[in-house]
Structure 1
Amino acid sequence: RMYRVAHWLHERGFYFIARAVSQLARHKYGIEIHPGAKIGKCLFIDHGMGVVIGETAEIGDYCTIYHGVTLGGTGKDKGKRHPTVGNNVLISAGAKILGPMVIGDNAKIGANAVVLTEVEPDTTVVGVPGRAVKRAGQRIRQSFELDQIHIPDPVSQELCKLRAEIDRLKNELNVYKEAFEEIKKKYCPDLKTEAETGEEVQADCRGKADKAENKE
């Protein structure tokens, strides 16, 4: 309620009085909300000690914030410096959301997470720095996680590579054979291939062997 009064004064240019009211609330409740922050309806701050909400922060409707949460800036931005939180967002104890990013509707921020990038709707973020672990109720597999079931077989992979290379070489050889046959028909029709020559030599040898047997 004291925030609503301070914000009303801030919107009408009574900055000093608005700031005084917000500091009084900070001293009384341990929650520091800048009068310039925009907060929707039904914000629930549970065990609010240590909560800090910056001047350009925006919070949607039906959000829940636990103690030690900071909606702050990084010190690098000008103008809009603090996050925009959507509707029905839960921010757990000790979480830090820094910078002018957007936290989507129905998102959940885990305890002590440090969020520096935007969060999509219906997403759960944990860790330092914050990373998405669930979206729309489905777990998001991290790139560094090892699948213990579907482990690749390196031997099978190498055999597949060899088979593919052999098939490629066969295809190239067939292309060269076809090109050679075309050249042979066009320029050297009487030229015999090695296979044809070998067959003639074998036939000649068989003929000589037969003659030798007949003489004996």
Structure 2
Amino acid sequence: GIEIHPAARIGRRLFIDHGMGVVIGETAEIGDDVLMYQGAVLGGVSLEKGKRHPTVGNEVVIGANAVVLGAIEIGDRARIGSGAIVVKPVPADSTAVGVPARLVRGPSVSRDHCGMLDHANYPDPIAENCRQMNARINELATTVAELQAQLREQMPAGDPQPVIER
């Protein structure tokens, strides 16, 4: 079911889609027009009195099984990807994904990841790392070829050529 602490402050038009497993803690604050999917948790990280649950801005989407922990702020129009574990603030107009969550879209993120994300099409950091490594390998191969050509030019005509190729 859906567990909402009676002291939680909830704005207008909160929509909980397929609400099984949703938990909203005692000091959580939720803005207007927020969408939460099944299994989403707004949890605390301490038993002490005082603010210990997240503050969620307006027009935020929190994906299925995402966990937002602690007295952190989720800015207006932010998106939290399915399965993310968020323990740091997420600025307005940003998207956070992963475990632990990292920003992949927003004002503080490079434009490489600015396309709209959907739950089935997250950026793949491993593929991105492979792309960067391949680009670096190509740069190094070009440098090696240039150095080999320079070495050949510097060798006297009658000297035996050193083995410089694989």
3-state DSSP of counterpart to 1:56: coil
Following the alignment from structure 1 to structure 2, what is the Cα–Cα distance between the partners of residues 154 and 84? 51
1:111 and 2:96 equivalent?
A: no
1:147 and 2:132 equivalent?
A: yes
Residue in 2 aligned with 1:48? Answer: 19
8 Å CA contact 1:77–1:99 kept in 2: the answer is no
Contiguous gaps of at least 5 residues in structure 1 = 1-29, 157-216
1:133 and 2:104 equivalent?
A: yes
- Of the structure 1 ranges 127-136 and 41-50, higher mean CA displacement relative to structure 2 is found in 127-136
Q: Which one-letter code corresponds to 1:84 in the other structure?
A: T
**Alignment partner for residue 44 of structure 2, among 46, 56, 73?**
73
Q: Which has the higher contact order (CA 8 A, sep 6+)?
A: 2
Q: Which one-letter code corresponds to 2:90 in the other structure?
A: V
- Greater share of residues in helix: 1
- Counting matched residue pairs gives 129
Q: Which one-letter code corresponds to 2:67 in the other structure?
A: K
3-state DSSP of counterpart to 1:147: helix
Higher Cα radius of gyration: 1
Following the alignment from structure 2 to structure 1, what is the Cα–Cα distance between the partners of residues 74 and 57? 6
Following the alignment from structure 1 to structure 2, what is the Cα–Cα distance between the partners of residues 116 and 76? 17
- Of the structure 1 ranges 69-78 and 48-57, higher mean CA displacement relative to structure 2 is found in 69-78
The 4+ residue runs of structure 1 with deviation greater than 6 A are: none
- 1:60-99 counterparts in 2 under 5 A? 60-75=31-46, 78-99=49-70
Shift in Å, 1:92: 0.7
Residue in 1 aligned with 2:149? Answer: none
- The share of aligned pairs that are identical, in percent, is 52
Shift in Å, 1:107: 0.7
1:37 and 2:37 equivalent?
A: no
Q: Which one-letter code corresponds to 1:99 in the other structure?
A: G
TM-score norm. by structure 1 comes to 0.53
Following the alignment from structure 1 to structure 2, what is the Cα–Cα distance between the partners of residues 84 and 107? 12
Following the alignment from structure 1 to structure 2, what is the Cα–Cα distance between the partners of residues 57 and 102? 10
What is the CA deviation profile of residues 74-132 of structure 1, one whole-angstrom value per residue up to 9, with x for unaligned ones?
A: 12664100000011000011010000000011111111111011111111111111111
